[in-house]
Amino acid sequence: MPETDKCPLCGLDPTGALWSDAHCIVVSAEIPGIGDFCRVVWRTHVREMTDLSRRDQHHLLDVVLAVETVLREALQPAKMNIASLGNLVPHLHWHVIPRFLDDPFFPDSVWTAPQRPPIGRDTLAKDALRERLKETLSLLPKLPL
């Protein structure tokens, strides 16, 4: 069975995305006690950054950094975590996670055991986040298809 047949990130529906272009899709996710974070997913199935051309690498990183900027401005976190692991899902994607001093995992990774109970954290209005991402990402140079 080809790897793409069982990949949950292949074929993500862009209609539910916060933002997408022909190359990347930005989706919202949530971690209890952290609140909103984003995943930036490369739309075609590749495993590693070095599987992309230099131009595509730069485009993906530009999108990741734009998402970080929007989340920082909207949420004012103590720190931002940007991670590309792909151990469980070997499809190139980045997690862009705002971190707070009182989040259950801080200062450790959100994938570790919590150190304190989760607190309720307001989630972002998806429409406002979608608009801000659209504004910010519209400033990026367009890649040809």
Checking if the pLDDT of 1 tops 60, the result is no
Checking if the pLDDT of 114 tops 60, the result is yes
Average pLDDT of the residues of the chain: 88
pTM here is 0.89
Checking if the pLDDT of 3 tops 70, the result is no
The dihedral built from the CA positions of residue 50, 56, 62 and 63, taken in this order, carries a sign that is negative
- β-partners of residue 54 are none
Q: Where are the domains of the chain?
A: 3-137
Give whole-number Cα distances, 47 to 8, 63, 78, 95, 118, in Å: 13, 18, 31, 15, 33
Tens-place pLDDT, residues 29-51: 888 777 778 999 999 999 999 99
Checking if the pLDDT of 144 tops 80, the result is no
For residues 86 and 76, which has the higher predicted lDDT (pLDDT)?
Answer: 76
> Yes or no: is domain 3-137 CATH 3.30.470.20?
no
